[in-house]
A and B are shown apart, each in its own frame.
Chain A
Amino acid sequence: MGLVQALRCRRCNNRLQPTKEISCPKCFAPLDAYYDYDSIALSHDSFDFRPRTLWRYAELLPIEDVSNAVDLNAGFTPLHRCRNLEKFLGLKELHIKNDGVNPTNSFKDRPASVAVSKAIEFHLNAVGAVSTGNLAAAVGAHAAKAGLPCYIFIPEGIESGKIAQIESFGPRILSVRGNYDDANRLAYLASELYGWAIANVTMRPYYVEGSKTIAFEVCEQLAWDPPDHIIVAVGSGALMRATWKGLNEFEQLDLVKDGSTSIHGAQAAGCAPVADAFEKGKETIQPIANPNTLAKSIAIGDPGDGTYAIQVARATGGTIGKVSDPEIRDAIRLLAAKEGIFAEPAGAVTIALLKDLINNGQIHPDESVVCFVTGNGLKSVEAVQSDATQWYSLEPSLQALKKFNAIA
């Protein structure tokens, strides 16, 4: 039973009661949920017999009665030690946090589970999302489980695999003839006009609380010793900030030592407003009107938490970098071929950036690294078109098989 003590403005520290507010009435900046940390008693042993889902961290989630949580078993995804990639990249310790194995195959099941549960606690009668695909599926699935009407705002150009998955959960799909930011604006207006609980807009302060559990899990899975570096994909920047909040909360509760983890953000070069601002030493993001990358899950031209992603990078000694579409495609194949993990483009940006950070000396070979892979490759098979010219084609005969074996 996580009891949110207050919502606090990120900019002016204004404190509000934990209500449905999403922005500070004084300065319009985003609000974050904070708990009464002094009253939370957690030790390493506390987690021994808890469910292997994100709900194992109930004290640090904003739901009053966890037995009412809408639970599809999101979270507690595997952390893979990647010895083949370590050897290939010349790195001492690399782990992949594979969030592509969540119920709807992306990390978005974490915030969706919390947001839909909170919407029910607020007695809201419909939920929704604005999404490049992954959140739509996650909210659609959790809404289906909860039996709630669901409204999904999507921009043009979403991959067909994602569409098929979203449709199957039966939400009302509003296909906006524009980009993600257009869809985002309409979803916000709908939440204001009709009271729908749009997970990543109306439920924002609570929604992001689900995302931070990925950082909790990494700490736990590394025997309470966080890595030297974490690399996170950056679309809106929310996951990067949530990762930082998660680490800070575990430090505050003495579950891990005071942090020395650098958090790095990875963007696609075709939509890199946060990386560009970081490179120029700015904190204000200049939005991009027409994102163009195969990493559609992070193609957000006007990233709501971009400024905060930059703050996290600077506060932790991290960076925000960008990688090209060909580099992303190579990273998908590298991760699959070396470690057996098939990532979507937005999941593989972290691997592509890792290569750069090693090459330019920002990550030392003796250090430990965790890369988040936030979505499954089956979400966007278009990104890795198969090349049948590389196949060996043969007649269905023993003779043909022996011929292949002779030349192989």
Chain B
Amino acid sequence: MSKVNVKFFGAAIEAAKRKPETEVQARNVRELLNTLSEQFGESFKQRMLDATGKPQPFVNIFVNDKDIRHLELLETELKDGDEVLILPAVAGG
């Protein structure tokens, strides 16, 4: 298990019970979201994952500034000291 730092932004802070930052032990992003769901409850899980267990369309997750959609999605491995950002999809354009 790796110890990673998770930071929430925007509406994601509300989902994390107004906690902007936390530390989690997890081997990959899937485990990380499961652990966070245990910590913050069912409503957090529903905001992060759809009924089939895939990330919700308007949630963006970055591991060390890389979008997990360009990595291995929920199977993206985590190492000690990694920084994970969870934020609403940012529109731009």
Contacts and interface: CB of A to CB of B under 8 A. Distances in A.
Interface of A: 11, 21-30, 130, 180-182, 184-185, 187-189, 192, 200-201, 204, 235-238, 284, 286-287, 289, 300, 302-305, 307
B56 A200 contact: no
B10 A192 contact: yes
B67 A302 contact: yes
29 contacts: A22-B10, A23-B10, A24-B11, A25-B11, A27-B56, A28-B47, A28-B56, A28-B58, A30-B58, A181-B67, A185-B87, A188-B9, A189-B87, A192-B9, A201-B91, A201-B92, A236-B91, A236-B93, A238-B91, A238-B93, A287-B69, A287-B70, A302-B67, A302-B69, A303-B93, A304-B90, A304-B92, A305-B93, A307-B57
Q: Looking at B15, B57, B59, which has the most chain A CB atoms within 10 Å of its CB?
A: B57
B92 A130 contact: yes
B58 A300 contact: no
A231 B9 CA distance: 36
Contacts of A11: 58
A284 B55 CA distance: 11
B11 A23 contact: yes
Interface residues of B, number: 25
A237 B60 CA distance: 18
Contacts of B58: 11, 23-24, 27-30
A187 B10 CA distance: 13
A22 B57 contact: no
Nearest to A10: B58
Nearest to A285: B57
B89 interface: yes
Contact of A30 (B59, B67, B70, B91): B91
Contact of A284 (B10, B57, B60, B88): B57
Contacts, number: 91
Nearest to B92: A184
Contacts of A236: 91-93
B90 A184 contact: yes
B69 A28 contact: no
Label chain A's interface by main secondary structure: loop
A187 B14 CA distance: 20
A27 B47 CA distance: 6
A380 to B, nearest CB: 17
Interface string B1-27: 000000001111011000000000000
Nearest 4 interchain pairs by C-beta: A236-B93, A304-B91, A28-B58, A23-B88
Contacts of A289: 70
With a 10 A CB-CB cut-off, give which of B15, B58, B62 has the most chain A CB atoms: B58
Contacts of B59: 28
B93 A23 contact: no
B91 A200 contact: yes
Contacts of B67: 181, 287, 302
Contacts of A23: 10-11, 58, 88-89
Contacts of B90: 184-185, 187-188, 201, 304
B44 to A, nearest CB: 12
A129 B17 CA distance: 30
A187 B89 CA distance: 13
Contacts of A27: 47, 56, 58
Contacts of B9: 188-189, 192
Nearest to B62: A185
A132 B14 CA distance: 31
Contacts of A184: 90, 92
A400 B87 CA distance: 68
B55 to A, nearest CB: 10
Interface string B67-87: 101100000000000000101
Contacts of A30: 58, 89, 91
